[in-house]
Amino acid sequence: MIDLEATLVGIAPAFAYRDGRLHADATPLDAIADAANGPVYAYALNAIAEAYQDFADAFAGQPTRICYALKANDSVGVLKTLLAKGAGVDVVSGGELALALSAGASADKIVFSGVGKTNQELADALDAAVMQINVESEAELERLNQVAVSKGVQAPIALRVNPDVDAGTLDAISTGRATDKFGVNYGDAERLYQEAARAPGLKPMGIAMHIGSQIGDVAHSAAACAKLRTLWDRLAADGVTLRRFDVGGGLGIRYKDETPPSIQAYADTIRAAVVDIDCEVMLEPGRRIVGPAGVLIANVIGEKMAGDHRVIILDAAMNDLIRPALYKAWHEVVPLRLPDADAEWTAADIVGPICESTDKFADSRMMPPLAAGDRVAFLAAGAYGAVMASEYNGRPRTPEAVVQGQNWDFARKPRTYQDLIRGQSAPDWI
């Protein structure tokens, strides 16, 4: 058996058993599951606000702009919680820009990132007057200049520089090695800054990086910061004066038994790199703010034996939470009802109902007895969970609930089959 209380403390401290039932804050997750009538995400908003505050506190005394990476979790309830704390937003598409603005984000706290922005997206960013556009290639620099000149404005930019360091994370979420698709080559950056400084439509404001996600050791961040700082100094000597030192996001969380760096240790690493220069530090954290604060709740449909394997079949599937199928990611799975002390735990594969063998959340997990209608929660599912959901297999998109103390509500309502059909049409010549 597994020490469930200790698992929660280590991975998802906003969640705990009260009277044998799993709660988020003071809200029983069963109440949310009853209303959703299917798989549903739940986010503990206080934990999200606290994680943001931890970042802010760790940089106290240093001018800092924390831009929450909206792609980690784009629920408007989550976003509004962070905006109320004073957060800026890191967006990676025109859609995210529109979402951030509609939630009330002020444009002068929005940074627009992304490896392939279209001219339309660049124009949208300029029209909104965002704080900064992080440019990722020479061609994009030229396009942005043209778009800005055509509008008679100057685009505030940073170059996202690829520092050529390994973030020590999974291949699929590593972004700072020379051959990864992100950013401009380190060796090209100085020349590109010189060109940007001369371009009529561009105003170099900062330098940026983002070396990857789920970073588990600040040594990688330190190495990347050092390279960025070297470049900063060279540019200053060349007469290109910058204001902002944007270190991206990527700080890891615990999913299983990792010991990710504290926010303070991460902050100290960054502060050490800029202690003697006059700059505003920019951060783009996503996972660390929302990951631990979210769970995916699922209902048990039943069990079967596949050969000699115990198989638990859930009503949640890879369309609701794709990380295990996509990255072989680990999520702890805990029952919503605390099992009896003498319950017999056995190893089980945990699967969803989709017609793909990759629709499997876990292999050989020790699980208590579960009957049809019992419920489980996937821990640390607040980041890159609901945002990656799809409607594969005719499964309406996963609803999302937000919790604060005893209050909860849907931030994305359960969808109906009508929602699946809406927006589709066939030409009448079929």
Ligand X SMILES: *Cc1c(COP(=O)(O)O)cnc(C)c1O
Residues forming the active site: 355
Which span (66-74, 122-130, 348-356, 412-420) binds ligand X, by CB under 6 A?
66-74
The least CB distance from residue 72 to ligand X, in Å, is 4
Q: Of 210, 229, 323, 395, which lies in the binding site for ligand X, with binding defined by CB under 6 A?
A: 210
Angle of CA points 325, 330, 331, to nearest 5°? 105
Q: Of 74, 164, 284, 400, which lies in the binding site for ligand X, with binding defined by CB under 6 A?
A: 284
Report which of 158, 270, 279 is spatially closest to residue 224, judged by C-alpha positions: 270
Query: Is the Cβ of residue 201 or residue 285 nearer to ligand X in the bound state?
Result: 285
Report which of 389, 285, 345, 378 is spatially closest to residue 29, judged by C-alpha positions: 378
Q: Which of residues 248-277 bind ligand X (CB under 6 A)?
A: 248-250
| By the rule CB under 6 A, 183 interacts with ligand X | no
Q: Of 39, 286, 292, 352, which lies in the binding site for ligand X, with binding defined by CB under 6 A?
A: 286
Q: How many CB atoms lie under 10 A from the CB of residue 126?
A: 21
Query: Is the Cβ of residue 77 or residue 248 nearer to ligand X in the bound state?
Result: 248
Q: Please give the DSSP secondary-structure letter assigned to residue 318.
A: T
The least CB distance from residue 223 to ligand X, in Å, is 17
Query: Is the Cβ of residue 383 or residue 403 nearer to ligand X in the bound state?
Result: 383
State residue 329 phi and psi, 5-degree precision.
-70, 150
- Tokens 């038994």 appear where? 257
Q: Which of residues 91-110 bind ligand X (CB under 6 A)?
A: 92
The least CB distance from residue 213 to ligand X, in Å, is 3
Query: Is the Cβ of residue 2 or residue 265 nearer to ligand X in the bound state?
Result: 265
The least CB distance from residue 177 to ligand X, in Å, is 15
The least CB distance from residue 424 to ligand X, in Å, is 31
Q: Do 251 and 287 touch, CB atoms closer than 8 A?
A: yes
Contacts of 385 (CB under 8 A, 6+ apart): 41, 73, 294, 296, 320, 321, 323, 378
The least CB distance from residue 197 to ligand X, in Å, is 23
Q: Of 113, 221, 319, 398, which lies in the binding site for ligand X, with binding defined by CB under 6 A?
A: 113
Query: Is the Cβ of residue 56 or residue 313 nearer to ligand X in the bound state?
Result: 56
Tell me the residue ranges of DSSP E strands in 368-414: 375-378, 400-404, 407-412
3 state SS of 242? coil
Measured distance CA(157)–CA(70) in Å, rounded: 19
Measured distance CA(301)–CA(26) in Å, rounded: 27
Report which of 290, 254, 294, 253 is spatially closest to residue 39, judged by C-alpha positions: 294
Contacts of 29 (CB under 8 A, 6+ apart): 15, 21, 22, 23, 42, 295, 297, 336, 375, 377
Which span (120-128, 242-250, 292-300, 399-407) binds ligand X, by CB under 6 A?
242-250
Q: Of 12, 42, 47, 69, which lies in the binding site for ligand X, with binding defined by CB under 6 A?
A: 69
Q: How crowded is the C-beta side of 198, counted as CA atoms within 13 Å?
A: 7
- Which structure tokens are listed for 276? 């003697």
Q: Torsion over CA of 391, 396, 397 and 400, rounded to 10 degrees? A: -160
Q: Of 90, 96, 320, 359, which lies in the binding site for ligand X, with binding defined by CB under 6 A?
A: 90
Query: Is the Cβ of residue 251 or residue 314 nearer to ligand X in the bound state?
Result: 251
Q: Which of residues 357-396 bind ligand X (CB under 6 A)?
A: 383
- Which structure tokens are listed for 22? 């799993």
- Which structure tokens are listed for 349? 């594969």
Query: Is the Cβ of residue 70 or residue 377 nearer to ligand X in the bound state?
Result: 70
Q: Of 23, 71, 229, 244, which lies in the binding site for ligand X, with binding defined by CB under 6 A?
A: 71
| By the rule CB under 6 A, 213 interacts with ligand X | yes
The least CB distance from residue 216 to ligand X, in Å, is 11
| By the rule CB under 6 A, 65 interacts with ligand X | no
| By the rule CB under 6 A, 206 interacts with ligand X | no
Query: Is the Cβ of residue 72 or residue 165 nearer to ligand X in the bound state?
Result: 72
Contacts of 195 (CB under 8 A, 6+ apart): 141
Which span (7-15, 186-194, 233-241, 285-293) binds ligand X, by CB under 6 A?
285-293
Tell me the residue ranges of DSSP E strands in 189-253: 202-208, 244-246
Beta strand 40-44 with 400-404 is parallel
| By the rule CB under 6 A, 285 interacts with ligand X | yes
Note the residues at the interface with ligand X (CB under 6 A): 69, 71-72, 90, 92, 113, 210, 213, 248-250, 284-288, 383
